[in-house]
Structure 1
Amino acid sequence: MSTVALLQKWRDSGAISADQFDTLIAIVRKERFSVFVELNVLLYVGVLSLAAGVGWTINTYFADLGDAAILIGLTALLMSSLYYCFSHKPGMVVDYILYLACLTLAAELAYIEARFEVLSDHWDYYVLLSAFVYFFFAYRFDNRLVLSLALSTLAAWFGVKISRFDLISSDSLRAAAIGYGLIVSGGGLLLAHHGIKKHYLETYLHVGANVLFMALVSGAIERNANWMYLPGLVVLAVVSIRAGLHFRRFVFVVYGTIYGYIGVSGEILRRLGTDTAALSYIVVSSTIVILAIVMLARRFGREE
């Protein structure tokens, strides 16, 4: 009995599923199949492991190695990574080597400031500088991974800057998050409007929307927070759902539904008198929300 016939027999008897059969038969027939996701995961884990190894080595042996050796090593790794990126055509390998270069730059700047305190109390400008460099690389090499790193670094700078003004409170952090979310979303829309990397728009909107939603939800569910957070959350949820339906982006429908549900539920639960009523509300309302999302997902799937 041939291997193909044996696999068919196993499938018919239920020993293997249809998906397993399709995968195995492709291997037996030497058909091509995609390992794109697996390669991306391996490269990403490899880059993070290398960066973590460099950080561990510096932290453990910096006294023995000396500042000069560490800085020369980091600079060599950074320059060689950038040389490879600039001298090769964009591709998967270049994407992750560029990501390694960005992480190396962050490590080198952090080491310089930790050891020599060049900017002292104004070290947050290192973070801002890193964000600008990452944005440049993201647009130069069309790299969404580095763009995400740039956006997260910019968010870190916002947080550090707020702490510089001794404004560490719930409202000040929410205000910073809302400002950041608006800047990121507005910046992405503006760049897309001018035809600059239009395919980056969703990345900007994903980051901006999640930050805005989290800031508004945290205010809506906090007992003593400003009352404006809940109306703002409802408006943003409606906009997100309508835009998601209009532009066929289901994830934004989910954002609006889930975040809106959490914020509104927080207000409703505060007004319910008993634990039984609260539990009943959670069970019934969450079931309705889940069913609604599933039905919408099926609708999107059929239409696509």
Structure 2
Amino acid sequence: MEKPHFSEILLQKLHQKEFLNDEDLEKITIYQNKGIFSLRSELLLMIYFSIILFTSGIGVIVYNNIDSIGHLAILSANFILMLVCFYFSFKKAKGYSNDEVVFENPLFDYLVLTGSLLACIFLGYINFQYQIFDDSYAYVSLISALLCFAVAYYFDNRIVLSMAITSLAAFIGISITPKSIFQNEVYSNLQLTYSGLVLGIGLLVWMEYSLINKIKIHFHFVYTTFALHLLGVCIIAGLLSEQWYIFIPILLGFVYYFYRFSYRVLATSIFAFMLLYGYFGINVLGGKILSFIDFGPFYELLIMVSPFYVVASIYLFIRLVKQFNAKKNASVQ
């Protein structure tokens, strides 16, 4: 006998709780049985890739024809395209609201994204050509971050918000050690590690403040995801440094906070990555502690036991995620 699909079980639970009446349940069931496949997500993904290819193509054309086109012509064309994107975006926008606001046509979300990308390209190119901030791109990153934050909140755009946070992280990295982001110095530069911790905690503080005051509360997942990975990487980098003992309470606080938060918002991805970063952190910490102990002949035993440890870790990880999903699904009852 074929088991009922999860969506069918969920519909029945909603019907039992009287969130759906008999007529609504019947209509939804008939619609699902038609097996209609929506291409909306696939089409939007293709549009997203088209925008990335378009902006990348502009960069390639500029690079290959810089002598014949001229800097002023490039800047003018970029600026005009940016203005066109934002003109139609503002024309169709519903205005700012602390609640979620969406365009009637999702294509305008990607028009906002295109305008934001062109704005960042314009800022970077004008600094490259005219050396407004000398050789440093720190302030360009900061201005790009502020611009993208304003655009993201006004137009309610999560992708542009991700660009804003990325630019802010680049500003911190570049302002401390130039080119550090491109050379992956987060593991060798402790000052950059501390800066990453401050930024990650700052993102969480603003996210919690926004949740309390109901300011774009649907942005919480973007902030949490960036903070989770930023803090996780910085904590592991700190545990690998000479001052590793400072990061032990930070690791414990990291695991505790994201464990509680994952159950609070019922987000499997946050729970899974919390487990992974916690696991890597504990193993690095264990390696640091073992380095002070002289095992001598027991090293061979450790090597023999290590495969079983890895298998047990994978089994425990899968089991914990399954338990989380079971509690998550039970919450609808």
TM-score exceeds 0.5? yes
Instruction: Please state how far the C-alpha of 1:247 moved relative to its aligned partner.
Output: 3.6
Aligned residues of 1:132 and 1:150 also touching (Cα < 8 A): yes
Match of 2:231 among 203, 212, 227: 212
User: What is residue 80 of structure 1 aligned with on the other side?
Assistant: 84
Name which structure has the greater RCO, CA cutoff 8 Å, separation 6+. 2
CA gap of 1:140–1:232, structure 2 versus 1, over 3 A, is same
Name the SS of the counterpart of 2:194 in structure 1: helix
Alpha-carbon distance, 1:209 to partner: 2.0
Aligned partners of 1:298 and 1:194: how far apart in 2? 31
Distance 1:110 1:153 in 2: 12
Instruction: Report the alpha carbon displacement of residue 121 of structure 1 after superposing the two structures with TM.
Output: 4.1
1:257 to 269, 275, 278: 275
Match 2:74 to one of 61, 70, 74: 70
Q: Which has the higher helix share?
A: 1
Structure 1's consecutive aligned runs of 4 or more residues displaced over 3 angstroms after TM superposition are none
In structure 2, which of residues 135, 157, 175 is the aligned counterpart of residue 161 of structure 1?
175
- 2:186 is the alignment partner of 1:190: no
**Matching residue of 2:115:** 101
Whether the aligned pair in 1 keeps the contact of 2:55 and 2:118 (CA below 8 Å) is yes
> What corresponds to 1:112 in structure 2?
126
Change (3 A) 1:237 1:81: same
| Equivalent of residue 125 in structure 1, options 135, 139, 143 | 139
- Count of paired positions: 278
What are the ranges of 5 or more consecutive residues in structure 2 without an aligned counterpart? 1-30, 94-102, 291-297
CA drift of 1:235 comes to 2.2
Is 1:200 aligned to residue 219 of structure 2?
A: yes
Question: In angstroms, what is the RMSD of aligned CA positions?
Answer: 2.7
Aligned residue number for residue 177 of structure 1: 196
Gap change, CA 1:54 and 1:229, over 3 Å in 2: same
Cα distance in 2 between the residues matched to 1:163 and 1:113 = 19
Residues 242 and 253 of structure 1 are in contact (CA less than 8 Å); yes or no, is this contact kept in structure 2? no
Of the three residues 254, 277, 292, the one matched with 2:305 is 277
1: distance between equivalents of 2:321 and 2:194?
A: 30
Q: 2 CA distance for matches of 1:247 and 1:132?
A: 28
Q: Does 1:42 align with 2:40?
A: no
Change over 3 Å in CA distance of 1:190–1:223 after alignment to 2: closer
Is the partner of 1:233 in helix, strand or coil? helix
- What per-residue deviation string (whole Å, max 9, x for no partner) do you get for residues 32-78 of structure 1? 54222102211110100000000101111111101121111111111
SS at match of 1:228: helix
Kept after mapping to 2: 8 A contact 1:240/1:252: yes
When normalised by structure 2's length, the TM-score is 0.76
Cα contact 1:185–1:209 (8 A) shared by 2: no
Equivalent residues of 2:138, 2:170 under 8 A apart = no
2:137, 2:174 within 8 Å by CA — same for their partners in 1?
Answer: no
Any idea what SS the aligned residue of 1:119 has? coil
CA distance in 2, matches of 1:285, 1:279: 10
Task: Work out the CA distance in 2 between the residues paired with 1:170 and 1:280.
Answer: 35
| Distance of aligned partners of 1:266 and 1:65 in 2 relative to their CA distance in 1, 3 Å threshold | same
- In structure 1, the residue matched to 2:24 is none
> Counterparts of 2:231 and 2:268 in 1: how far apart (Å)?
18
Alignment counterpart, residue 327 of structure 2, candidates 282, 299, 303: 299
Which structure 2 residues correspond to residues 11-30 of structure 1 after superposition, within 5 A? none
TM-score by length of 1: 0.83
Q: 1:58 aligns with which of 52, 55, 62?
A: 62
Pairing 1:289–2:300 present? no
**Match in the other structure for 1:11:** none
Aligned with residue 229 of structure 1, among 243, 247, 254: 247
CA distance in 1, matches of 2:78, 2:308: 58
1:216 touches 1:229 (CA, 8 Å); kept in 2?
yes
1:181/1:209 contact within 8 Å kept: yes
